[in-house]
Structure 1
């Protein structure tokens, strides 16, 4: 019974894959976007109804302006790389929300929120573009879909293990080892990989949008120096790479991002 279950699970995973347009790699897609996007849009609208959306200010207008430029750059890249129509189901929306949390996010389908708490660290329009590019990249690369798929696989593995072990003591040992092992050895590295991938995609898109990609590493230098950048677990226990790793990676990616932008005729880059 257990063997059949694992066999059919493997077949299901193999056929439930999507292609990441930025890497060409196959990614898990156990939950289709046709289900994910409507849920994301509903949750986004609910979030906005429960929080204070900032409108009519210079910062709010800047978030919308940068978001529009980043989304246009993403479409240009996707069209040029034989992915026309990739964004057809996106319903872009960019909002600034009053909250001291140092964060920003993009839901599947292009629903974006910046918290006012991250604006001082962004410091400039180009800093906002670096954040925006990164967050949009998560949606473009279907990272939410992949995380949901990984969670389902983790749950399926736990169910199979609990079915296999009849003895309560053995089952308890399995659950403890499985929980720690799949989290530290699987889910957390998976998440850090997504963050690094979003850094790369994001810095390319911001450059195509006309923003200096060298400013992305400077953003993370400011993040590192901030109060929020001084706390957190070791990298191997974190969902994100360390600030130092990100700064180094983004610095190395900047010249490549400029070279990619030049393919689209972009040779002048905004620095502030």
Structure 2
């Protein structure tokens, strides 16, 4: 899965325009650094590569192998460091929960079997199914969204991660409200397309908020006060 994530990330960097804004890159890197510091050592991934792509897409993703991509369009909808942390934390949570593994297992890389993944990855015919299995449907032109249970788990784990890092978890609610407002235009944000928004999402976040707020207060007591500014 790490090889698959690294290969897919390399391909995306070749296809997408990487942002030249040092301010945006430093801002997103600062937020990501605080979040990945909370990734359990048992996961075995100490270094994460973070890239900001110059695109109006309101989107972000994370891949096995310690890869995080954020589109600059997201920074127009996520109004502060806490809201960006809510998105990035959610995406990292998908990786930590091994949701990509579940996708690949389910699709079996177009029925060729997971054991053939390393060999098949080099064949152009399988690159798109593999990337779709990793949740990168927008980049390859078709969609294979996460399931509802996976989304709910990523919401919960991401909420806890941002709280442990000292980001205000209540801002996750405002973030999804911003997403809904952005969706009222002609075209909804890509993040809502690849991560289906359900009417119960905010309700579930609110239900998880008491425990997340406790983690947040504990983090602040420990001196975790992120000051990432754009």
In the TM superposition, residue 46 of structure 1 has moved relative to its aligned partner by: 2.2
SS of the equivalent of 2:199 reads helix
Equivalent position to 1:50, from 15, 23, 26: 15
Q: Matches of residues 114-263 of structure 1 in structure 2 within 5 Å?
A: 114-152=70-108, 191-227=147-183, 240-262=195-217
In the TM superposition, residue 228 of structure 1 has moved relative to its aligned partner by: 6.6
CA–CA distance in structure 1, aligned partners of residues 97 and 22 of structure 2: 31
In the TM superposition, residue 240 of structure 1 has moved relative to its aligned partner by: 4.5
RMSD of the alignment, in Å?
Answer: 3.0
SS of the equivalent of 2:166 reads coil
Q: Does structure 1 retain, via aligned residues, the 8 Å contact 2:169–2:212?
A: yes
TM-score where L is the length of structure 2: 0.72
Equivalent position to 2:32, from 67, 82, 96: 67
In the TM superposition, residue 55 of structure 1 has moved relative to its aligned partner by: 3.6
In the TM superposition, residue 221 of structure 1 has moved relative to its aligned partner by: 0.4
1:111 aligns with 2:76: no
In the TM superposition, residue 50 of structure 1 has moved relative to its aligned partner by: 2.4
1:85 aligns with 2:50: no
SS of the equivalent of 2:58 reads coil
TM-score where L is the length of structure 1: 0.62
Superimposed CA distance per residue, residues 76-114 of structure 1 (whole angstroms, 9 cap, x where no aligned partner): xx3xxxxx432x245411111011222110011220111
Task: From the two aligned structures, give the one with the greater helix fraction.
Answer: 1
* Equivalent residue number for residue 17 of structure 1: none
SS of the equivalent of 2:55 reads coil
Name the larger-Rg structure. Answer: 1
In the TM superposition, residue 243 of structure 1 has moved relative to its aligned partner by: 4.4
SS of the equivalent of 1:73 reads coil
CA–CA distance in structure 2, aligned partners of residues 148 and 229 of structure 1: 34
CA–CA distance in structure 2, aligned partners of residues 108 and 150 of structure 1: 17
**Structure 1 unaligned spans of 5+:** 1-35, 79-83, 157-187, 233-237
- Greater relative contact order (Cα < 8 A, sep 6+): 2
Q: Does structure 2 retain, via aligned residues, the 8 Å contact 1:133–1:205?
A: yes
Q: Does structure 2 retain, via aligned residues, the 8 Å contact 1:224–1:243?
A: no
